[in-house]
Amino acid sequence: MGVWWWKLLFGALVGILLSTQPCASQKVPRYTFMHNATTAAEISHYDYIVIGGGTAGCPLAATLSKNYNVLLLERGGSPYGNPNISNLAAFGAALSDTSPTSPSQRFISQDGVINSRARVLGGGSCLNAGFYTRASPQYVREAGWDGKMVNESYEWVEKIVAFEPEVKQWQSAVRDGLVEVGIVPNNGFTYDHIHGTKVGGTIFDQHGYRHTAADLLQYANPTRITVLLDATVHRILFRVKNGTRPKAHGVVFRDSLGRRHKAYLKEGPRNEIIVSAGALGSPQLLMLSGVGPAEHLRAHNIKITLDQPSVGQGMSDNPMNAIFIPSPVPVEVSLIEVVGITDFGSYIEAASGENFAGGGGSPRDFGMFSPRIGQLSTVPPKQRTPEAIAKATELMNNLEEAAFRGGFILEKIIGPISSGHLELRSRDPNENPSVTFNYFSDPRDLERCVKGLSTVEKIIESKAFSGFRYPNMPIPMLLNMTASAPVNLLPKHTNSSLSLEQFCRDTVMTIWHYHGGCQVGKVVDGDYKVLGVDSLRVVDGSTFKDSPGTNPQATVMMLGRYMGLEISSQRLRADQTR
């Protein structure tokens, strides 16, 4: 008696466990064309060489491989089989891993905000919060893109990586709160960027399994593409023929054993090198290859290919500010699902529950807002020292379970208008360049933050949200309550009144939408060709003046596909009229 019962229960449990496994192994594509750079030839030749297998680079290389021989060089490893990347609940695990082989490379801007950049095939789409949403029709128009081809490119991406999230109780309350405070209409679930409140897409499927830009390589022609991992490009090689413009014709890359390889373009007028190394990587690599501000390059003993003062200029990061609202009742674990698109240039989003961000130790974590990943809004940016981070992490680890019940409502601003610049620290491509974003240097950015935060406050006080905050707790007390808790979201004011301007500046964090450095019209032309040199383009987030949509990844992937199509058809036309 009893034994059979246990067996039955055990069997049922195993059954449940097996059936709810995300079937990760089935989702791992077998890419016969993906190799470790250590196995690469010393010298090889291609029609196209794409530098950076990130969010833009993967769809771009896949598209070009339909008709041409393509080499895709990625400095990081494969995302497949790494639960830190694949599982929604592990958000932040990769971001908190600061080892040299981590899929994320931490950097700290001169502003003092701690930030991260990707180092893995699939790029930022392997680290991000998954929210998937298109750019506005106005953004598409102003970019000069063809609207029909843009839509087709988005659809091409969405077939593989975009899903509708299952919106649970806490996210629903935020959505209803947004509508209640006037961010209307309620547009339901849509990828489109329209004023009002909506549920957007996500790259996490219904099992919480992440689909990344690397999955878009399923579209590649396996016989015409080569993807090399752990392949760090050190330099683009230029040929300068007598009196003509410098022409990119090859790259130097190193594998993980430090061995040098060279890849060249095959002879032919239309073969090209395309840089898709991201907003930090692309301007950095152009500079390392002699394309940049002459004075600055000279200071690093870099031979000048082209004096181009705009390379590294116009670097922006959209500031993010957030308020944590402890909940009297349990909440789901969610990353971003709902967004309020206001008419004053502020976007309101939210995340809830304990997203496990660390290896070992406590599973309790504030996810997107965890000191483990470098987010620390309790002290102004420049005071976010390693010691401050360590202290906050320890405090977080010692919090009671109940303290994590709740969620963050955040706002980020459109644009931004404020911008800064990027400079080399050394000639080592592995070392982060120095970057300055000048958050809120333009007063219009600050005003948008203040309006966004006052809207967040209204949502917190809305009827729809009332089930998820403690009753009888006005905002100042709410902020002050978190201030007296080990995780403190209230900045210490010299001024006892709660100035939202000061709150914006003191609690500014990143939402990792940084962009710029190789802007259209400054460094590249409308076809993303690098001005002043031949056979070289830049296609990725570094070309943006403003961040597209409420969150950029959909448009970054779209741009990779779009430019792949555009380059192929431009070439076809040119070949026909020859």
Residue 120, annotated as binding a ligand: yes
| Bridge pairing between strands 201-202 and 536-538 | unpaired
**Residue 47: φ, ψ to 5°:** -80, -40
Distances (CA, A) of 252 to 50, 265, 428: 13, 12, 13
For helices 553-577 and 57-64, the axis angle rounded to 10 degrees is 30
Catalytic residue flag (residue 513): yes
Cα–Cα distance between 483 and 469 in angstroms, integer?
16
Using the contact rule CB under 6 A, the part of the chain among 52-60, 61-69, 306-314, 469-477 near ligand FAD is 52-60
Count of residues touching ligand FAD (by CB under 6 A): 43
List Cβ neighbours of 325 (8 Å cut-off, separation of 6 or more): 406, 407, 408, 409, 460, 465, 468, 469, 478
Out of 2, 243, 258, 471, the only residue in the binding site for ligand NAG (CB under 6 A) is 243
The pair of three-digit structure tokens given for residue 239, joined into one six-digit string: 């040929």
Q: Which x/- pattern over 255-294 shows residues binding ligand FAD (rule: CB under 6 A)?
A: ---------------------xxxx-x---x---------
Using the contact rule CB under 6 A, the part of the chain among 13-21, 54-62, 64-72, 161-169 near ligand FAD is 54-62
Q: Which x/- pattern over 182-201 shows residues binding ligand NAG (rule: CB under 6 A)?
A: ----------x---------
Q: How far is CA 288 from the centre of its chain?
A: 23
- Within a 10 A sphere around the Cβ of 99, how many other Cβ atoms? 6
Q: How far is the CB of 105 from ligand NAG (least distance, A)?
A: 13
Strands of 402-488, DSSP E: 406-413, 420-423, 434-436
Cα–Cα distance between 212 and 161 in angstroms, integer?
6
List Cβ neighbours of 333 (8 Å cut-off, separation of 6 or more): 88, 89, 352, 353, 354, 355, 367
130: contact with ligand FAD by CB under 6 A: yes
Q: Which amino acid is at 294?
A: A
Out of 77, 201, 517, 560, the only residue in the binding site for ligand NAG (CB under 6 A) is 77
Out of 55, 96, 105, 289, the only residue in the binding site for ligand NAG (CB under 6 A) is 96
Q: What is the dihedral of CA 205, 370, 82, 255, to 10 degrees?
A: 130
Residues 93/359, Cβ–Cβ less than 8 Å: yes
Q: Give, as ranges, the residues between 194 and 253 that touch ligand FAD (CB under 6 A).
A: 232-233
Residue 233, annotated as binding a ligand: yes
Q: Which is nearer to ligand NAG, 23 or 240 (CB)?
A: 240
Out of 84, 105, 271, 488, the only residue in the binding site for ligand NAG (CB under 6 A) is 84
Distances (CA, A) of 484 to 1, 225, 479: 54, 56, 9
363: contact with ligand NAG by CB under 6 A: no
Out of 26, 484, 576, 577, the only residue in the binding site for ligand NAG (CB under 6 A) is 484
564: contact with ligand FAD by CB under 6 A: no
Q: Which x/- pattern over 490-529 shows residues binding ligand FAD (rule: CB under 6 A)?
A: ----------------------xx----------------
Cα–Cα distance between 87 and 333 in angstroms, integer?
12
Residue 211, annotated as binding a ligand: no
Q: Which x/- pattern over 420-449 shows residues binding ligand FAD (rule: CB under 6 A)?
A: ---------x--------------------
Residue 113, annotated as binding a ligand: no
Catalytic member of 211, 249, 513, 515: 513
Q: Which x/- pattern over 115-154 shows residues binding ligand NAG (rule: CB under 6 A)?
A: ----------------------x---------xx--x---
Kind and range of the H or E element at 313? Answer: strand 313-315
Cα–Cα distance between 140 and 445 in angstroms, integer?
22
Cα–Cα distance between 275 and 565 in angstroms, integer?
16
Q: Which is nearer to ligand NAG, 77 or 319 (CB)?
A: 77
Q: How far is CA 350 from the centre of its chain?
A: 17
Q: How far is the CB of 260 from ligand FAD (least distance, A)?
A: 13
Q: Which is nearer to ligand NAG, 75 or 249 (CB)?
A: 75
Residue 36 contact among ligand NAG, ligand FAD, none, beta carbon within 5 to 8 Å by kind:
ligand NAG
Based on the number of CB atoms within 10 Å of its own CB, is 16 exposed (0-12), middle (13-18) or buried (19 or more)? exposed
127: contact with ligand FAD by CB under 6 A: yes
93: contact with ligand NAG by CB under 6 A: yes
Q: Tell me 515's DSSP state.
A: B
Out of 8, 14, 477, 572, the only residue in the binding site for ligand NAG (CB under 6 A) is 477
Residues 531/246, Cβ–Cβ less than 8 Å: no
Residues 547/415, Cβ–Cβ less than 8 Å: yes
Q: Which is nearer to ligand FAD, 232 or 362 (CB)?
A: 232
Using the contact rule CB under 6 A, the part of the chain among 42-50, 112-120, 169-177, 178-186 near ligand FAD is 112-120
Residue 374 contact among ligand FAD, ligand NAG, none, beta carbon within 5 to 8 Å by kind:
none
Residue 275, annotated as binding a ligand: no
Residue 283 contact among ligand FAD, ligand NAG, none, beta carbon within 5 to 8 Å by kind:
none
Peptide bond into 416 cis (omega under 30): yes
20: contact with ligand NAG by CB under 6 A: no
Q: Which x/- pattern over 63-102 shows residues binding ligand FAD (rule: CB under 6 A)?
A: ----------xxxx------------------x-------
Residues 509/453, Cβ–Cβ less than 8 Å: no
Q: In sequence order, what are the beta bridge partners of 534?
A: 247
Using the contact rule CB under 6 A, the part of the chain among 48-56, 291-299, 439-447, 491-499 near ligand NAG is 491-499
Residues that bind ligand NAG in the complex, under the rule CB under 6 A: 36, 38, 77-78, 82, 84, 93, 96-97, 137, 147-148, 151, 192, 229-230, 242-243, 256-257, 358-359, 476-477, 480, 484, 494-495, 497, 499
Please identify every residue annotated as catalytic: 513
Binding residues for FAD: 120, 233, 512-513, 541, 552-553
